[in-house]
Structure 1
Amino acid sequence: QTEGMSESLAKKPRLDGVVAENDDGTIEVEIKSRDFTAKQEEERGELSFKCIWNDGSPTNLRFLCELKEIFGQQLPKMPKEYIVRLVFCKRHKSVAAIKRTPGMPPRVIGGICYRPYHEERFGEIAFCAIKTEEQVRGYGTRLMNQTKHLSRSIDRIDHFLTYADNYAIGYFKKQGFHMHITMERGRWAPLIKDYEGGTLMECYISPNINYIEIPAMVKRQQKVVDNVVSALTHSRVHPGLKVFREGVASIALDAIPGVREAGFTNDSHLAGGGALTEREATAEDLRATLEELHANLVKHEHSWPFREPVTPEEVPDYHTVIKDPVDLSLMAKRLADGFYKTKEVFLADVGLMCDNCKTYNPKESVYYDCAVNLSRFAHEEFRRLGLTFS
């Protein structure tokens, strides 16, 4: 059973982006896949991935010992004897992430241990972890992509199954796993042990995807999207306005360079401009502002645990602990129903949602971290939109 995954691999999942301004004033945004940096280290020879098992070779046995120690440190709830038994079991294989530093012997920084079932063409992931000091660098995503590639090539498997605890679900979802099992039950049920408190997750390993070249694939896809967007729009950065330095108090909105090209007119903008104040905000304006805030919350990188309600199937005891659950989908319904008459009620729901998360999850978990970051972002958005709060 995989355990403790959120701390090990999914602390801050993201796509890295680089924003640059070209000479002609156009803006170029380069989106990078999560494992872009790790792939660069591979190309420089600083990082490698190797499929190893207990074949008796001194090098592989040393790597397995290092990997066993990492699993023991990162998965403290897992019995040490159980980790040793599976890592050194000759039916199990491990994909080790190996770091090379000049003047030092290669060292294992993480890995995935799995058991391949060759006749049934699937593998069961037992352990998955990265050393604490090597986290949040894209190694977790690169490790999973390499594991898919190597297991498909070496073991000819086309699916992965794993039992994930609450901390691991978020990581596995980002690696293509889901809780809807598409494999026929008779193919896997007699072979997989059922773990109490774990959620069974599945990942299909496509024969048409080169998993170790995903960074290049993302770049090609981005180029296609950029070309389409460029054909439909014209993004340009204009120099700042100088008229205010010359004593001009105000200018027409459509006199600002680029505003007319963007499709804005004075008629389509709120009269007077600027942020809404408490007295100026009508019920309609407040609702529009809260809808904008809600949309920004949904898009935020730390909002993924809050977008849908927690179900008893996912977390059986959640509603026993949390008596008043709130999630972003419920808040969307309340917005549509006109439930939020004041900004304080909306902010109270955001606070309750985040407090529920911090009540149920331990402080060191990724869910607690998401709650802290999302709450901070909500307050920043209130300030940006001109909504004061106590």
Structure 2
Amino acid sequence: MTHVDEALLRTLTPTVIGILVRRGADFAAAEDAVQDALVEAVRVWPDDPPRDPKGWLVTVAWRKYLDAVRADTTRRHREVRVESEPVPVPGECAAVDDTLQLYFLCAHPSLTPASAVALTLRAVGGLTTRQIAQAYLVPETTMAQRISRAKRTVSGVRFTQSGDVATVLRVLYLVFNEGYSGDVDLAAEAIRLTRQLAAKTDDEEVSGLLALMLLHHARRPARTSPKGRLVPLAEQDRGLWDTRMITEGVDVLQTALTRDRLGEFQAQAAIAALHADAQTAAETDWVQIVEWYDELVRLTDSPVARLNRAVAVGEADGARAGLAALAGLDPALPRYTAVEAYLRERDGDPVTAARLYAEAARSAPSLAECEHLTRQAARLNAELRG
């Protein structure tokens, strides 16, 4: 008995959905039929692997779709139309690759970000509902309902309707930032999907996002200690960084930058590349990082970019300058208090810094970050008592 190549199934999923849609199925019905065909493949292929996996999936998925239409008595008028279509056989699959259109469909502006992410992982990524639910730490029934609602929302959208690459990139960035949970590594999945998108488009920002993901993911082994504690960038063991991934990220970024059409993901990737290029924290080129943050702020006017720029200014020009850059921002910004605590400590005010670290810990977005900030407050308080 052979094993089913799950990576192949996931790669073929968007292509097969696209073929069914072009043959007349609406998106929701096509996606359901393909999922049923994938289940059948897992059952049958180990004992009887097909010569043409894509052709097999198209044939079985189309039959599943026809069965569903015939069973739906309220849609008999469609049965007349679809039965006139020949059942495709292996070797007769359309050469058109509809994966890019599926990206656009799954990132439709009418969907909430959470629904767009779930639908992208299901239809383009080929993940099961259970895998997606585990990754987001929600019950499978909850995720199934979310995906069903999303499919209903986009089913009326014309498959040939042009989409917005920027929206697709936002969805992929959301997937990447979820990181790892359950049995699905969403960061790695986002990289896989972004590579796929980069191969199908000629867009510098797609390359910029891919480079950003690679450069951030390369540092992942050093981000936590063996005990699960958060390790700040300056304290990370850079020997644990994945140098091959860093090299690839830098190469992808440099190729994009030569096109001279700068976008926010390219700017973020350039900042990540400068961090990756430093052999030690002390060798970080903070002056150039500030310049890239200036570009990022110009492109996005993002408060988060301005907050991170304040940290960079504090490293390049001193804590007092960093605090001045921070002064014009909204204190309600996520991580504002943690940044102020760090700059106050650097400016020689441990009493204020300890208080701010403790305050920041109470609103930290994750347990690991909360524990890190609590330890910083405890460290300064111990030093003050000593």
TM-score, normalisation: structure 1: 0.23
More strand, by proportion: 1
TM-score, normalisation: structure 2: 0.24
Quick one: higher RCO (CA 8 Å, sep 6+), 1 or 2?
1
More helix, by proportion: 2
